[in-house]
Structure 1
Amino acid sequence: MTTGRSGGHRSRGEGIDGGSPTPIRLPPARTERRRTRGEAKMAVGSRGRRTAAALVAVFVVLGMLSSVAPVMATTLVIDIEKSTNGVDADTPPGPSIRIGDPVVWTYVVTNPGEQVISDVEVTDLAPEHSLNPTPVYVSGDENDNGLLDPGEAWVYQASSTAFWDEALGGSYANEAFAHGVGEYGHGVDASDPSHYVATSYCPIDGDIVVPFGSTDPWRGLLKDVPGARRTEPVAVDIPAGVWSVRLAGYDAHSVRGGGGEHEEQWAAELVSTSGATVRTPTTRDIPDDEDFVVDEVAAALVLDEAVTTLTGLHGSLVGPSNSTNSLVALCAAFTRLRPGVSIEKATNGEDADDPTGPTIAVGGAVEWTYVVTNTGSLDLTEVVVSDDQGVTPAYASGDDGDGVLEPGESWTYTASGVAVAGQYVNVATVEAVAVGGEQVSASDRSHYFGAVPAIDIVKSTVGDGSTVVGGSVTFELVVTNTGNVPLSEVTVTDPLVPACDAEIGDLAVGASVDYTCVAEGITAGFTNVAHVVGTSPLGERVAARDEAPVRVVAASGLIGDTVWHDVNKNGKQDPGEEGVAGAKVKLTNLDTNETATATTNADGKYLFSGLAAGRYRVELVTSSVSGDLTTPRVFTPVLGEGAQSLDNDFGLAEALPRTGLDAGALAFAGVVLVLGGGALLVVDRRRLLGR
């Protein structure tokens, strides 16, 4: 092809009209020799004639040179440098370029001479191919005058797609030509070759890729009769299953610009282990400018048994312009298609795979959503969604109208119910059938918790709830979370006994809080009521109450008995055993911690009167008597209202009341008596001896 900027260019070199300057012959040197005088005279005459002739010749030559002097005064030269994908590939093989990848040729045209060059043209010819690139001017005309000035370099480019030429084994060569016209109308030319090698590769991928290698150009129609172009059979190991099959080839006809659209037919022929043959044809229209032919010849090929041999078949139909196709079979790619399905279940919009899930008030509405998705690469039919708790999911949306759950497609189902108490779980399951008959399934569980908030309070008095006028009563309160959800903001109020008010706060399921409080200065009986409230996680308020009656009674109870000398130490007061006077007994009201003390009379009797009902402790003050006890030292009677307890007696082995002298004083007195007696004996003996 040819391109130019106000002119053209041809082969590299210089000269006039394509020729060389006329050479000037110089006369040969004269040979010195002896001459006679006659000969000398004759020579002088002859020399004169030759000189005159030479002068005439010189003038002629000078005239000729003066006529061409303007042309020979400057040089006329053009140069072109061509590269392929940036490589100066003057000699083969040049760069390796994959079939179908871009090829960019760059042409740099320069003027290394002294004359301005016009009418520059750049062409590129590939003598062995039908494809000739068309160089296009890019840049370099610095003053934009359309003239290739001395020292200027103009850049041209052309592009195409690397293709495989069967006859040349993938090698490609083309030669660029530059032509121009000098200042005096003389043409000048230059040329430069370039090369590349087209390499075969597979433009598709898959789980199993089988290269065919190239085939010869072929024309004809693919049919189930001999005549279709076949690749050499390739040994393969393709397991049974469902596969997507794609074939790739190189349409050399399209790259070469071969005349109009045509139909391309593809097929893969597979032979199984049992010798059965499976063929997968398809037909498509290929635009004239499409280079690669990549077809999915089988979207879902079901192989019931393994395949051991693969052959590629291809052919073309002659187009309307009677063009033919030249096809290079490259490879086949097999992608295993596996079925898959998933189901995602949600409860009230929450993906509650794990407990407890959302908390829902018992009797509240429950909405389940089931999203079924085809996660595999095969269509699914006979889709069924079920739920193990008697819930019936119903289809809601998602199908595009064909009743087929296609890869990536999702369908939505819904169901509803009423919340029951406690932890609830149900499992959704989807089942479907894939192309090829394989069944697939998936499950997903979901949870919710049916909330039953509740609280309880128990209030009681310590004792029988009675007291005397001005007395006090102690209450015990127990607050318990009896529901199945935690409570917050738990508060106790007691209008009649503010001392029993309490802020408990959070209370876990089954947890209890107990405490005591005291009502003092009671003047009359009353019924005391305590209230408790709490808040559930759903904001529901729960409450409970309990009461404890208080009575005011007259104090008429009696506690007493005897402190005696237990002579026989049998723990019983026998006849004749006398009481111990002056012994002290202490009484403690265990309900109020109040105490009192009594002293035995001359008969050893003591008595506490005017006692209220309650629990008491009676004990002998041992520091007020001597001797060991033969009975318990402490009694704990319980009095009812107006009751008496008069059998709290204490027996002593040595029944002497304390005199005020302690054991140390008695011991000291004894020592004094002993020493005094010894002194008297000494005096009496001296008297007897006459001293």
Structure 2
Amino acid sequence: VECTATGTAAAGQYANIGTATVTPPQGPPLTPTSTSHYFGPTPGLQLVKKTNGESADTAPGPVVLLGDAISWTYEVTNTGNMTLTDVAVTDSDPGVSVSCPLNELAPSGEANDSMTCTASGTATAGQYANTGTATGTPPTGPALRVPNTSHYFGADPHIRVVKLTNGELIGGPPGNTLRVGDAVTWTYNVTNTGNVVLTGVGVTDDQGVTVTCPRTTLGVGETMPCTGSGIVTAGQYANQANATGTPPVGPPVTGITTSWYTGATPGISLLKLTNGEDAKTAPGPTIPVSDPVTWTYRVTNTGQQTLTDVTVTDDTGITVTCPATELAPGISMDCTASGTAVAGQYGNVGTAIGTPPTGSPVKSPDPSHYFGAVPSIKIEKRTNGEDADTEPGPSIRVGNPVSWLYIVTNDGNVTLTDVGVVDSDLGAVACNDDLLVPGATTTCTALGTAVAGQYMNEATATGTPPAGLTPPISTDPSHYYGWTPGIDLRKTTNGIDAATAPGPELAVGSTVVYEYLVTNTGDVPLTDIVVTDDPEGTASCPQTTLDPGEPMTCEIERTVVAGAYTNTGTVTGQPPTGTPVTSTYTNHHTGGTPPVCDADANGVIDINDIRAIMLARGRPADPGFDPRDADGDGVITRSDAKVCILDCTYPNCATAP
């Protein structure tokens, strides 16, 4: 009998034993066996690809530095039970050539069942993958094809630093101009420009600036700002920043950048000139008062920065005009102002101000001076100690000495030399000093003899001021009156000038009146005037003083005595100085029987007598003798007047001449 069974071939050598069991009619069962074999062919091929010794089936694989050597190993193993021939390995990267030591592999477990193939290359940047493919041909069946992919990451580490000075990117020297002493801030923008993470990132500055960064790791493409600060120094300044970072492989990477600035000290200077002269200290130039004064303000930019809004002011309020408001370094300009010189020491301060690009304005003051000169001289002339600018001045008796005093004063504000005095009549006058500082005084003197009448002489004082100033001159007149005292006396007896004997005949017992006409015939007042009569005594006068030309009449009344009579009047008067002046006058008369018609008994028949008769008309004549009763009828009538008119002493009955 034939029995059957089925199964599925298993890989490799297979053996199974079939056992039949037969039970005979007697005896134990019979168990004959039979063994059968088959071989289950299992072709198999395995490929393990490694990059730089690392199995990197998945990305990113090992990280290698761009440009470094890459080695690939391809571990090929016959995992089947059949010999494989034409074994080879290829790579998906055409530039990779794979070299294998064998082209046949024995079944697995046998000698030469595996081999290692190799290839090499140079790392490229970024994520890299290539696939190795192992092929082999079994004795039967299709060829085997086994791929295996491996990876690496080509590291291209880079770092970049961009440095800003006060927030501004500076392309090259000289950079921005910064004010010396101001704060300066640097920003260091550090960027990972490579393709791998950088650690240990930091920034150093070659000028010792301390740089602070917010972290030390930078991912790919990340940027972080680091900062540093300092104080602006003078001149061209450059500092180099070095940013470093450590990639996963390879040496640290460095980024370098330089920034510049120019440390400038803004400065301005002012030179102020008065009429072209640098007069920082007093007194400065001497300028006549009221003359024009010109101030020049020379403004110079002494710094290294352009100044704007440049102006000049003056502490006295003078308006200053400038040709520009901007000054480049080293450039000057002249501003101007003008005025009129005032008296005395003058000083004003100009101040130049300019604004630099940053910071507060700079300024420079400069004082200047001038002396407002008033050359002046004053003379006061005195005659006999009296300031006699106007007539008449002091009265001086003719022939008496006259002294003149000349008081010369420097009433200006500059020193005068060659001081001198000239008198209009006397010429040059001797003085004590010929140099006078301001306020000083000197005296000069001259002598003379008084002449008659009103006198005037004028003194002229001169002096020499500093160069360029007009010499001053001063005049002063002085006066005196040269006087001649005089007095005149004219005496009348009963109104008759009886200077010649025998004089009028006066009635004995009648009243005689002596009149003394006193006249000041000089040119000065007279005081203490007294009239005396010899032998009659002192006359009665209305006053005791007389101005020049002034008359007065004094008188004495007496009773006529018989016979010839002579008396002499004398007047004396006291002038302002010196001895008294005097004058005399003598009169005569005769005491007797007076003639008819001489009613006033003055020895003359004149209109006064006619008037006396007319006034007494109708009255009886005086007992005895009455000169008014011309016709002797005992009554005074018009007829008496008619008779007397015919007997008048002078024509028309005029009074005594």
Same fold (TM over 0.5): no
TM-score (norm 2): 0.35
Rg comparison, structure with higher value: 2
Give the structure, 1 or 2, with the largest relative contact order (CA under 8 Å, sep 6 or more): 1
Answer 1 or 2: which has greater strand percent: 2
